Homo-oligomer: A and B are copies of this chain.
């Protein structure tokens, strides 16, 4: 079994969800693509002919707002599937997927997905379960966005980055996003993000070394994110 299949399986968390035959088919039709940092996998409004499994690297999923700013809705990493929502709902892509690091993805045609959904209830239920989880996360983001201050959201973002992408031996985040991207994750102006990050450095909540950013005081950040001050 290739990595592409394990990607699907990991995502949907069920070895039994797809039959051997189905997996074979996926394996036969897969196409591997390399995407350079900064390049798009697909753009908002595009019609998708399939989904993309992330084999390596990280992608930002974002949407352009009327005022010309990108809002980053999600960061996807190894093992996640991009475009499934649009394929399932048979709608054009609602978000753009752009690589924030060099990536390797594999493509699975939508016919394959839709076909398996129809024929394999276990697979459908696993996908459904996964989407239900995504929906909960989205609801949580809505609450955070509307009820927390920018400072709280930035603190939260760094904790998210640590938990999801990890840190190196020296305690710096594996994924260092430019300030502009951080601003777009929390939905604020780049200057505001920079100002708050500087403030966090002064308060020894964060540390930097060149471009790298690390968490210096996780509990402090956590308390701040939760409004305990």
Listed in ascending order, the chain A residues whose CB lies under 8 Å from chain B are 63, 65-67, 69, 71, 73, 84-86, 88-91, 94-95, 117-122, 124-125, 127-129, 131-136, 138-148, 186-188, 226-227
List the B side residues contacting A84 at CB < 8 Å: 132
User: Which residue of the partner chain B has the closest CB to A185?
Assistant: B146
Q: Which of A86, A89, A187 has the most CB of B within 10 A?
A: A89
Interface of A is mostly: helix
Are A121 and B128 within 8 A (Cβ)? no
- Identical subunits present: 2
Bound form: Cα–Cα A67–B129 in Å:
30
Are B85 and A143 within 8 A (Cβ)? no
Bound form: Cα–Cα A118–B121 in Å:
5
List the B side residues contacting A119 at CB < 8 Å: 121
Are B63 and A143 within 8 A (Cβ)? yes
A65, chain B: closest CB distance, angstroms:
4
Bound form: Cα–Cα A91–B117 in Å:
23
Are B187 and A67 within 8 A (Cβ)? no
Are A227 and B66 within 8 A (Cβ)? yes
